[in-house]
Chain A
Amino acid sequence: MRKIFIPVAIGTVLIIITFGFLKVARGQILSINKSEIVINTESQGENTRQITAPEGYQPGAGGENQPLISFIDSPTVACVQPDLSRNECFVNWYYMSVTADPNYIITMTVTLNDFGFVSRYQGFFQTGMYVPYSMNPQGYKVDCGTLGSGGVPEWGESYAWTIRARDSANLKSANYGTVYCPAFTP
């Protein structure tokens, strides 16, 4: 019996140590590059949102009150063609909002992947940031494109976009999506 017990006990301890190193948990911490790890990610259709932290960050190490930057709330991505006679569409969001309490929000940026940065919002001693559509009432001007140019037969051009936010603890939140514009039919 002793001959079996000792190897079984050693094997059990080794398995526990291995899982401890792998950190296989429900949170599924994935390493995306040498300096950042993804803490949380969700996807739905073409939409994805992520929270990342510097490597070495321990979620939950500080207990349940461990501060985290929130997901960016960016509902209702719009592409509107105000004038049928012009190949001009406008992309906008109903609002963008993120919290980082008790850390400060440093920046929030908007990128239209085809063009680069289109907006940068800087925090000023604020733990949350809220950007309504009225701060850019017309939206970002883009080409509407011809029918099917964005990959969907009934619509025009499509534009991939990214919204990023960073807080004073260097935690980052990002939203990724695609917006489809009405087609320009001269």
Chain B
Amino acid sequence: MTHSIRISLIAMILLVGVLLAFGAVQAALAMRASSDQVAKTPIPTPTPLPNQMPASSPEISFIDSPTASCILPKRNTGVCFMTWNFMSAIADPNYMVTMTVSIDDNFRARYSGFFQTSMVVPSEMMTFQVQCGAPGSGGDPYYGAVHTYTLRARDSAGLSAANYGSVTCPADLARVYLPVVKR
């Protein structure tokens, strides 16, 4: 080993030693207790909490779907429209994958999420044509048919929420008026 290399090694060792000593001094200063402090007792292990879900556990919310409606816009057509004020659900922090609407066990709409943790569907995007039905056809003599509906939402964690309900429509039947032809 040459003389210059030996000197370099010795310098390196001295430098490392100085750094270690400096670090040790800093650690000692940090750990030093003040003169008026009582000697600290060890911190006891906290009692474990009873089994419960952690506060931040992600869950899909209930679907908010107020004001389920059946509307007869034009009499004597037999055509009614079902709609809601809006439909919304939250799945934060998961993504909302789909929300679906089925009426009388027929799927009528599918709303797909796009990188969204919640979904809102306004009334104009969920209006469906249904039969009004004859008076009494739903059991109430003053109203028409009853239509059942199911709203479902599913998130990217596989959780789903569902609302079930029914809507009673105004009674109305299609009437075709033949022209009166005079001879």
In the complex, the answer to whether A82 meets B127 with C-beta atoms within 8 Å is yes
The 5 closest A-B pairs by CB, nearest first: A80-B109, A182-B107, A75-B116, A83-B129, A77-B112
Bits for A108-138, please: 1 = Cβ < 8 Å to B, else 0.
0000000000000000000000000110010
Interface membership of A18, Cβ < 8 A:
no
The reply to whether the CB of A169 lies closer than 8 angstroms to some CB of chain B is no
**Cβ contacts B125-137/A at 8 Å (1 or 0 each):** 1111100000000
A66 contacts partner chain B, Cβ-Cβ < 8 Å: no
User: B109 is contacted by which of A74, A79, A83 (Cβ under 8 Å)?
Assistant: A79
Question: Roughly how many angstroms separate A183 CA and B127 CA in the complex, as a whole number?
Answer: 17
The CA of A7 and the CA of B156, in the complex, are separated in Å by 53
A42-B115, A47-B115, A182-B110 known; A1 vs B124 contact (CB < 8 Å): no
Contacts known (A75-B119, A77-B114, A177-B114); A44 close to B109, Cβ less than 8 A: no
Residues of A within 8 A of B129 (CB): 82-84
Contact with B along A121-159 (1 / 0, CB 8 A): 000000000000110010100000000000000110000
Chain B residues whose C-beta falls within 8 Å of the C-beta of A78 in the assembled complex? 109-112, 121, 125
20 contacts between A and B (CB under 8 A): A44-B95, A71-B115, A75-B114, A76-B113, A76-B114, A76-B120, A76-B125, A80-B109, A80-B125, A81-B108, A81-B128, A82-B129, A84-B129, A94-B125, A133-B125, A155-B107, A155-B110, A180-B112, A182-B108, A185-B106
Name the one of B111, B124, B156 contacting A137, with C-beta atoms under 8 angstroms: B124
Contact pattern, A 52-85, Cβ under 8 Å of B = 1, otherwise 0:
0000000000000000000100111111111110
Q: Which residues of A contact B (CB under 8 A)?
A: 1, 42, 44-45, 47, 49, 71, 74-84, 92, 94, 133-134, 137, 139, 154-155, 175, 177-183, 185
Cβ-defined contact, A84 with B97, below 8 A = no
Q: Are B122 and A84 touching (Cβ within 8 A)?
A: no
Chain B residues within 8 Å of chain A by Cβ, number: 25
CB-defined contacts of A76 to chain B, threshold 8 Å:
111-114, 116, 119-121, 125
Q: Tell me the B residues contacting A by CB distance below 8 Å.
A: 5, 95, 97, 106-116, 119-122, 124-129, 156
Using CB atoms, name the residue of chain B closest to A43: B115
Q: Give the contacting residue for A77; candidates B111, B122, B126, B156; CB below 8 A.
A: B111
Among B112, B120, B128, B156, max chain A CB count under 10 A is at B112
In the complex, the answer to whether B112 meets A94 with C-beta atoms within 8 Å is no
The complex places the Cα of A82 from the Cα of B129 at a distance, in Å, of 5
Closest B residue by C-beta to A83:
B129
Most interface-central of B108, B125, B127 (chain A CB within 10 A): B125
Q: Which residues of A contact B112 (CB under 8 A)?
A: 76-78, 177-180
Query: What are the residues of chain A within 8 A of B111 when measuring CB–CB?
Result: 76-78
Q: Is the CB of B107 within 8 A of A183?
A: yes
Query: In the complex, what residue of chain B is closest to A79 when comparing beta carbons?
Result: B110
Distance from B2 Cβ to chain A, minimum over Cβ atoms (Å): 9
Could you tell me the distance in whole angstroms from the C-beta of B83 to the nearest C-beta in chain A? Answer: 10
A185 to B107, CA, bound (A): 10
